Structure 1
Amino acid sequence: MSTQSKGQDTAPASTQQAYQNHKSHELLTCSIKAPLFSYAHLEVVRDEPGTASTDALQFHSFCTSALTQFLGATGAAISLDILKVQGNECWLRVSRQDLGAFAAALTAWPGTRDAGAHTILRIRQCSDWLGAMVGGDGQDKLWTS
């Protein structure tokens, strides 16, 4: 003897048809609305061509100098993670909330003068996503060639 009623053991036809038409299953969905870090691509520009490439310590020193001059002790406290240095270019990671202050400090920084040679930092790219910056080499030459 069955105690279930006739309508409880089968799903409605429209629900069964929806399951049959859906061929894939979503296992996990994750949305990152506000990443913790932002990324910047910097370049050292010098008056004298042919000068040696810049190392990670020089990039860190230039950035710290710019941040200290612009924001004082607060700027010096901003954490920078240098991800890659290649020639006179550098990719670094900074806290997302500090990216605006970091970019403003580098833009306002007058650079350094050493034996008459002027050295400045140029921001080539900034993004909340490192993947958005990959493959950006040569974009500045697209409209000038």
Structure 2
Amino acid sequence: MSEATAPASQRSILEKSRLSKTHELLTCTIKTPPFSYIHLELLTNPPEAAAAVELDNLQVKSYCTAALRQFLGLTGTAIPLDVLKVEASECWIRVPRDDLGAFAAALTAWKGSSDGGVDFLLRVKQCSDWLGAMVGSHGQDELWNN
């Protein structure tokens, strides 16, 4: 059967398929992601000591556990956290989405740690349900200062 002799409904389908160059294979909407992400920064007092200190995974885990224990007790230490990346004095952490508020509150309320007359404190720089949004905005504060 040629296009000219096809019924009107089939002709409209043929026209649509000829005009469209792409086909949608799958549509997926994520309404509630399972994890949230936090970007932390290590601050020192006196600030000159920051150059000599470099974070590692164990220090980040230790500081976060201390903050959660102080704020929420044993319940706080049960919050699972994954250290995704540590770079110089900054780190990125993943926690379950429902625990983001408690985690951020614990780190904000934490008085920090002291070693050899130097005070250490983790500061929350950013937190989001979407890691891509945080990584994409990383360095924006330096954009206009250089």
TM-score (norm 1): 0.83
Query: Which residue identity lines up with residue 10 of structure 1 in the other structure?
Result: P
Query: Which residue identity lines up with residue 19 of structure 2 in the other structure?
Result: N
1:23 aligned to 6, 9, 21, which one?
Answer: 21
Deviation at 1:117, TM superposition (A): 1.5
Of all paired residues, the percent bearing the same amino acid is: 57
Equivalent positions of 1:15-94 (< 5 A) are: 15-48=13-46, 49=48, 50-94=51-95
Report what 2:128 is aligned to: 127
Deviation at 1:18, TM superposition (A): 3.2
Report what 1:109 is aligned to: 110
Cα 1:15/1:134, change in 2 over 3 Å: same
**Gap regions ≥5 residues in structure 1:** 1-8
Deviation at 1:11, TM superposition (A): 4.6
Where 1:68 maps in the other structure, the secondary structure is helix
Identify the structure with the greater helix proportion.
2
Deviation at 1:39, TM superposition (A): 0.8
Distance in structure 2 (CA, Å) of the matches to 1:86 and 1:112:
20
Cα 1:93/1:47, change in 2 over 3 Å: same
Size of the aligned set, in residue pairs, is 137
Query: Which residue identity lines up with residue 123 of structure 2 in the other structure?
Result: R
Deviation at 1:16, TM superposition (A): 4.0
Distance in structure 1 (CA, Å) of the matches to 2:18 and 2:143:
49
Where 1:134 maps in the other structure, the secondary structure is helix
Query: Which residue identity lines up with residue 7 of structure 2 in the other structure?
Result: T
